[in-house]
Amino acid sequence: MTKRDIRFEEPLYTVAEAARVIDVPPSTLATWTKGYVRDRNDRPAVIGEAVVTAFPAKGRSPSIPFIGLAEAMVLAAVRQSGVPMQRVRPALAALEGEMGIGHALASRQLYTDGAEVLYDFGADKVDPEVVASLVVVRNGQRVFVDVVREQLKRIEFGADGYATLLRVSGYRSDVVCDPTRSFGRPIFVRGGARVDDVISRFQTGDSIEDLTQEFGVGVADIEDALRVASRRAA
C-alpha cells in the first residue's frame, strides 16, 4: 500500500489563508487555482487555465495542499518580475513538458535546471520576451532573475525532489510552513508556535513579554510578526 503524501493529497489552506502567506490578493490566487474565462464583446473569450494545484472548494473548507502553496509562492515571484500571467502560462507548460515532470514550480529541478531549460527550449515555444524577462545570463550561466531566484532559495526539497518546507518571505525572523507541523500554518522556527496564535493573543490583550514566556518566541520575532501582520492588513 502506497503511503499517503500529505504534501500533495491533503488540502491545508483556503484561498484566503494561502494568499495571506504568499502576500497576494485572494482574487489573484483564486484565478491561479481555478483558472478563468473572460468574455469580450464581439471577440473570442479569453481563457486562463489553472496553474496552481488545488482541490474543488467545499464551502469555506481548505482546498489548497502544501504543494499548491509552494507553486503559488514561486508564481508570486514570477508575477513580481512583471510578466503578465497570460504569457507566463505557456512558459510553465513548456517547462513541465521539457523537464517531464508535474508540479514543476514546486520541484528542485526548477531550481537547478529550470532557467537553462526555459532559455534553451522556451524561446522556440514561448514568447522570447517572456524568456528574457525571467532568465538572465551571469558568469556564463543562465539563471532566473533575482526575484524568482531568491524565492526558490526559500524552499527546502525532499528526497523526491519536491518541496518539503517553505521559508515565508516578508519576515526578518525565521517563519516557515511545514506540512507536518501545525497543519502547514506559518510557525516561528524558534519556539514552534503558530504565528496566527501569537498575533491573536496579542490582539486580545496579552503582552509581548507574556507571549514570549508562554510560547518561547523571542521579543524581536513577535514584534516582527506584528509588523508584517499590520502591513498586510493595511
Query: Residue 170: its pLDDT value, please?
Result: 92
How much is the pLDDT for 209? 96
Q: Is the pLDDT of residue 232 over 90?
A: no
- Cβ 185 vs Cβ 198: under 8 Å: no
What is the predicted pLDDT for the residue at 1? 46
Q: What angle do CA 110, 147, 230 make, to 5 degrees?
A: 120
Give residue-wise pLDDT tens across range 203-214.
999 999 999 999
d(CA 165, CA 156): 5
Residue 109 host element (H or E): helix 108-109
pLDDT at 83: 82
Write down the pLDDT at residue 122.
Answer: 64
Question: Can you give the pLDDT at residue 93?
Answer: 81
Q: Could you give the CA distance from residue 164 to residue 160 in angstroms, rounded to a whole number?
A: 10
Domain boundaries, the chain: 6-169, 170-234
- The region that residue 205 occupies, defined by phi over 0 for left and psi between -120 and 50 for alpha, beta otherwise, is left
Is the Cβ–Cβ distance between 182 and 194 less than 8 Å?
yes
Looking at residue 37, what is its pLDDT?
A: 74
pLDDT in tens, 162-220: 999 999 999 998 999 999 999 999 999 999 999 999 999 999 999 999 999 999 999 99
- Please tell us whether the domain made up of 170-234 is placed in CATH 1.10.10.10: yes
Dist CA 163 CA 180 (whole Å): 12
Segment 68-103, tens digit of pLDDT = 999 999 999 998 888 888 788 888 888 888 888 889
> How many residues are there in the chain?
234
Calculate ∠ Cα 67-178-31, nearest 5°.
35
What pLDDT shows up at residue 86?
A: 79
